[in-house]
Amino acid sequence: MVKANSALDHIKIIRQGAAKAQQFLATGKEQIIHFYLPGEPIGFDAIPNKMHPHAVCALVETTTCELSLQHLLDFTCSSATLQAKLLEVTQKFPSLSFNYYYSASIPAAQRLGSFFIHLANRIKQCNIPYPYTLPMKQQDIANFLGITAETTSRLLALFQKEQLIKMINKNISFIDVEALKFKTVA
């Protein structure tokens, strides 16, 4: 969908499907740094330098609509109110930079709990119906959180046993987000 270090010509908005932003470490290993859901724009993080800092690829069959960056900038230049609104919108979307809640110093259960709370909030904002079909594999979630796929699987089973989430195949429902929040505190 987007190559790392490619010029930013268009903002892409996910209409259907999902994508991941990734970078490759010096070892050649992939590091997932963000997941995009329907309704979310790809490219806002590239506006300051007019270059995409990360590669973005689809996780499942994905359709996007594209908005010319130049048209967007020309349109917003016509009004200080529109410029302020664009700035506000770009700040509402999650930063692709390091997130404390997913750092290696945080226990794995807290990281996965934070991930699910964040995901539940984004699903709600995007008006995506439940149960939500997770577009990412368990190993993608593990990669993003910096934990093993086995740990992710074990924690998913624990969260289901504790009736915090319900998963059937890749369909997830968040049963008790409030209780899930307690998993995120030390």
pLDDT digits (tens, 9 = 90+) for 124-175: 888 888 889 999 999 999 999 999 999 999 999 999 999 999 999 999 999 8
74 shares its domain with 21: yes
Q: How many domains does the chain have?
A: 2
Give residue 118's domain range.
100-182
Place of tokens 């109110």: 81
109 shares its domain with 159: yes
64 shares its domain with 124: no
78 shares its domain with 128: no
Residue 5 lies in a domain: no
* pTM for the full predicted model: 0.84
Residue 1 lies in a domain: no
Confidence at residue 130, expressed as pLDDT on a 0 to 100 scale: 82
Residue 4 lies in a domain: no
pLDDT digits (tens, 9 = 90+) for 55-100: 999 999 999 999 888 888 787 787 888 777 777 766 655 554 445 5
